[in-house]
Chain A
Amino acid sequence: MLRLQKLSKTYKTGDQALTAIDLDVPKGQVLALIGPSGAGKSTMIRCINRLVEPTGGAVLLDEVDLTGLGPGRLRKARREMGMIFQEYALVERLTVMENVLSGRLGYVGFWRSFLRRYPQSDVDAAFRLLDRVGLLHMADKRADELSGGQRQRVGICRALIQQPKLLLVDEPTASLDPKTSRQIMRLITELCQERGLAAIINIHDVALAQMFVPRVVGLRLGEIVYDGLPTGLTPDKLTEIYGEEDWEATIEKVEDEEIEAAE
């Protein structure tokens, strides 16, 4: 469904963030993207929905190349891809409900969105999603009154209300404590399963990735150096991705039921 062909990005400063990435993501598959800071994880995710303009290669979403689209077509394409951010990136001075509904901006006209007159179907969808993540009673609270975990749930709702085919998830747990991190990862993988969504989850916590996803892609210096099952991440492989370190303690014995849950 999503295919990256020789995707590359060189910043104006001359830093080469991505060198000819080739990647296939079939429909409904959740994959984790791991790698050290500066490996190009964030850049890769942002090149897919062109928050960062790629400098070469192609991004094919259902056989349509996104890299060549004009502004109008690009907006339509962005509706198909929900994005979840590391620092939640909620509009802090708007209410929870407005933040969720902002996921529909690509579908409604300017004045409708400006006057907050969304179609009833959108409002219902927002209520359902908020109920699903357990925040329905917070609908009229301002986003900056929420805790980190709650904000990330709102961020998830905003991405899902777009009715996307694909989720782009950028370090969803980096600002959260370990317990909330697991809850958020579980929520994302569950929701993807319910809706048959594909997702690319950018994550630096290898153990967390192994716990929840069936496929792991390792990135180093803008190149894919590992692509396979989470169980295949041996100390050698991790050394190849991250560099020399004692990896034995990091690799957890992933329990069977959690693999099933993630699949």
Chain B
Amino acid sequence: MSHRELDDMLGKGWRKPAFVRNPLLRWGLGLGFVAYLIAAVLTIEVDWGRVYEGLDRGWAFILAFTSPDFLSRWSDIWSGLLESIVMTVAASVVGIAISIPIGLGAARNIAPLPVYVICRGIVAISRALQEIIVAILLVAIFGFGPLAGFLTLSFATIGFLSKLLAEDIEAMDKAQAEAIRASGARWMQWINYGVQPQVMPRLVGLSMYRIDINFRESAILGLVGAGGIGATLNTAFDRYEYDTAAAILILIIGIVMALEYLSGIIRARVQ
């Protein structure tokens, strides 16, 4: 900006400089976005009569939260919930165990190039495929039941945890790792003394977070036949048994909250 004199500026208005400097681009972006919004809203077909009818049912559902029915289908709820928890625990253990070596392999600063490429490939595939799609395929291959759900969650855990672990290792303090290497440590010793202490707190935190996600995901795998509470919930919705559905949702929310609280405590202790 050239130096301007006070006298030139006095009496002139002042406008805040725009975020996008080029006016053509600015108006183009704005108009384009508005046009898209209008097109998007217009192409959504909403049957307002159906929505209006639904309001009563929606209200009934909200009311159901004040009187959830845990009892009449308790055996279904209990077996579904147990299956969800079992899948979560088993898949988290296996997933975390596998993601540690893959995470090490996917960190460029400690893995040789071929290993790096393979591990990054596994991570990319796992992250690109959604849990529910993986579950559909695995159900088709292994049949209905919690085994498909367990495999799905393990697979998803690997993508999530390995990527974040690898990023953490790549961002670690080089000096500490170098000091251990300088002492003549072997590769395993080097990982154990130079790398592990630096990434351990975050690994524990991420693992706790992933257990939380795994439980939430396990609640939907039942929709495609991969075991867990989802099947029970789906049945409850199909039969319009809102009080049972409300009970299940309350249980899910409660368990997620408990897990979050627990992970908060554990993370605070590790750090």
Contact = CB atoms under 8 A, between A and B. Distances in A.
Interface in B194-248: none
A137 B6 CA distance: 9
Interface residues of A, number: 16
A127 B10 contact: yes
B42 to A, nearest CB: 30
A139 B3 CA distance: 11
A124 B11 contact: yes
A207 interface: no
B13 interface: yes
Contacts of A128: 6, 10
A167 B17 CA distance: 30
Nearest to B14: A123
A116 B15 contact: yes
Contact of A120 (B13, B15, B16): B13
Given A124-B11, A127-B10, A140 B17 contact: yes
Interface string A123-141: 1101110010000110110
Interface in A151-208: none
A124 B16 contact: no
A137 B14 contact: no
Contact of A95 (B3, B4, B12, B16): B16
B55 interface: no
Contacts of B16: 95, 97-98, 116
B46 to A, nearest CB: 33
Q: Please tell me the size bucket of the interface on B.
A: 10 to 19
**Chain B, interface SS category:** loop
Contacts of B3: 136-137
Contacts of B14: 97, 118, 123, 126-127, 139
Contacts of A123: 12-14
Contacts of A118: 14
Contact of A127 (B6, B15, B17): B6
Contacts of B6: 127-128, 131, 136
B38 interface: no
A98 B14 CA distance: 10
Contacts of A126: 14
28 contacts: A95-B16, A95-B17, A97-B16, A98-B16, A116-B15, A116-B16, A118-B14, A120-B11, A123-B12, A123-B13, A123-B14, A124-B10, A124-B11, A127-B6, A127-B9, A127-B10, A127-B14, A128-B6, A128-B10, A131-B6, A136-B3, A136-B4, A136-B6, A137-B1, A137-B3, A137-B4, A139-B14, A140-B17
Given A126-B14, A127-B6, 8 more contacts: A97-B16, A128-B6, A128-B10, A136-B3, A136-B6, A137-B2, A137-B3, A139-B14
